[in-house]
């Protein structure tokens, strides 16, 4: 399939802006759409003068008319627990009405469509590591359900367009990703700990810190999405994307204290409701389909992210 024009929803966000960079570097024409709910114009200001970049300030829950689209990367949605708990209705709307609008554009233009899903659809998993065949363990009415269930709905409706409309649809389940352009106040663990450590503030570990996460550096994730977007035979595939190196949150805190040479102390705060106890992607499927695997270790990625926050 010949791909030239790419629509990226959530273009001014953390991942969306890196995706814009990647496709522009590879000479594609990128149409970025964002309403700046959780993203910032700063993330894309270096792109605005580029001939191949077009930006539309728009809320994708309203219809959007475009002349030509070959590929849609649907990434618009608050992603940090702090953000989606602050914007619960917006989160549910962008994953229902917003997703429907993106799917309709894909159908109209016969475009390839990629949905940014999440490891959160596995909830607090009872199967470890999580492979794509696991159905998850989600509280449908807890506070996090505004994100988890909304993403599950988006997956269901995207699958329906694949089954009923033969859309070239792919779902990527993204596991915790970090790196430059995350907001220092976005509430996710990596920017929180780095900002606290650099400011010599207490490091806030929620619960006893025994819960685990697996952290993927942004450049690895972008390479994986790029592969998935441009590989022809992935229609209808659901793929985990993340780094299977798994860490306890307490150990992440210690690594960040060491790497920043900080004198910050660790303090313990209450664990948010339904906070998953463990999370680690099984990436066998994506490796087999595309050969992709992450290259950046946590320690390397944390160093690069610390440099970013230091220079901000
Ligand atoms: P982010 O908050 O930095 O980016 C999301 C972007 O979407 C923001 O720029 C925001 O303004 C925009 N947006 C939100 N609602 C919109 C709307 N109605 N119309 C137009 N734009 C809208 O978050 P991120 O970390 O870059 O995440 C991007 C996507 O990846 C999200 O869909 C998220 O669920 C998914 N994801 C991210 C991670 C991660 O670790 N970063 C993990 C799993 C899934
Ligand atoms: N967390 C923490 N301190 C913080 C922020 C987060 O201990 O200041 C924990 C959080 O409870 C969770 C993990 O770190 O267990 C990852 O949280 P994050 O918000 O980054 O993403 P999640 O994986 O929960 O979506």
pLDDT in tens, 39-91: 999 999 999 999 999 999 999 999 999 999 999 999 999 999 999 999 999 99
Q: Give the Cβ contact number of residue 211 at 10 Å.
A: 19
Ligand 1 closest atom vs CA 61: 18
**Is residue 1's pLDDT more than 90?**
no
What span, in angstroms and rounded, lies between the C-alpha atoms of 193 and 29? 37
DSSP string, 95-162: IIIIHHHHHHHHHHHT-EEEEEEEGGGGBS-SSSSB-TT---B--TTSTTHHHHHHHHHHHHHHHHHH
Give residue 312's pLDDT. Answer: 87
* Own/partner pairs, 81-87, CB within 8 angstroms, 24+ separation: 81/144, 81/147, 81/187, 81/188, 81/272, 82/186, 82/187, 82/188, 83/38, 83/186, 83/187, 84/144, 84/146, 84/147, 85/143, 85/144, 85/146, 87/37, 87/38
Q: Which ligand is nearest to the CA of 41?
A: 1
Measured in Å, residue 264 CA sits from the centre of ligand 1 at: 30
Give residue 41's pLDDT. Answer: 98
pLDDT in tens, 197-234: 999 999 999 999 999 999 999 999 999 999 999 999 99
pTM of structure: 0.98
pLDDT in tens, 274-299: 999 999 999 999 999 999 999 999 99
**Is residue 126's pLDDT more than 90?**
yes
Domains of the chain: 5-178+216-244+278-295 (3.40.50.720)
Tokens at 191, concatenated: 């920017």
Tokens at 162, concatenated: 């694949």
206 lines ligand 2 (CB under 6 A): yes
Q: What percent of the chain has pLDDT over 90?
A: 99
pLDDT in tens, 239-260: 999 999 999 999 999 999 999 9
Q: 127 Cβ partners below 8 Å, 6+ apart? A: 134
Q: 307 Cβ partners below 8 Å, 6+ apart? A: none
Ligand 1 closest atom vs CA 98: 18
């Amino acid at each position: 399939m010949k791909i030239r024009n790419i629509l990226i929803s959530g273009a001014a966000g953390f991942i969306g802006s890196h995706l814009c960079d990647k496709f522009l570097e590879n000479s594609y024409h990128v149409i970025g759409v964002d309403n700046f709910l959780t993203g910032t114009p700063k993330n894309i200001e270096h792109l605005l003068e580029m001939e191949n970049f077009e930006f539309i300030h728009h809320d994708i829950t309203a219809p959007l008319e475009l002349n030509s689209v070959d590929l849609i990367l649907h990434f618009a949605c608050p992603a940090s627990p702090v953000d989606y708990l602050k914007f619960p209705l917006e989160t549910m709307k962008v994953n229902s009405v917003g997703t429907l609008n993106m799917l309709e554009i894909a159908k109209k233009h016969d475009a390839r469509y990629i949905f940014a899903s999440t490891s959160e659809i596995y909830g607090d998993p009872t199967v470890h590591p999580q492979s794509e065949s696991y159905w998850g363990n989600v509280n449908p009415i807890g506070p996090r359900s505004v994100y988890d269930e909304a993403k599950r709905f988006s997956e269901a409706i995207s699958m329906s367009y694949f089954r009923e409309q033969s859309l070239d649809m792919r779902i990527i389940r993204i596991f915790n990703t970090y790196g430059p352009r995350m907001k220092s106040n976005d509430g996710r663990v990596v920017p929180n700990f780095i900002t606290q450590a650099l400011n010599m503030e207490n490091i806030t570990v929620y619960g006893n810190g025994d819960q685990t996460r697996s952290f993927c550096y942004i450049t690895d994730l972008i390479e994986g999405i790029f592969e998935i977007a441009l590989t022809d035979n992935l229609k209808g595939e659901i793929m985990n994307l993340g780094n299977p190196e798994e860490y306890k949150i307490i150990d992440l805190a210690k690594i960040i204290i060491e790497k920043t040479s900080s004198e910050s102390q660790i303090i313990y705060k209450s664990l948010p409701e339904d906070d998953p106890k463990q999370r680690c992607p099984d990436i066998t499927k994506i490796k087999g389909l595309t050969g992709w695997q992450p290259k950046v270790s946590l320690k390397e990625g944390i160093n690069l992210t610390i440099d970013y926050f230091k220079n901000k």
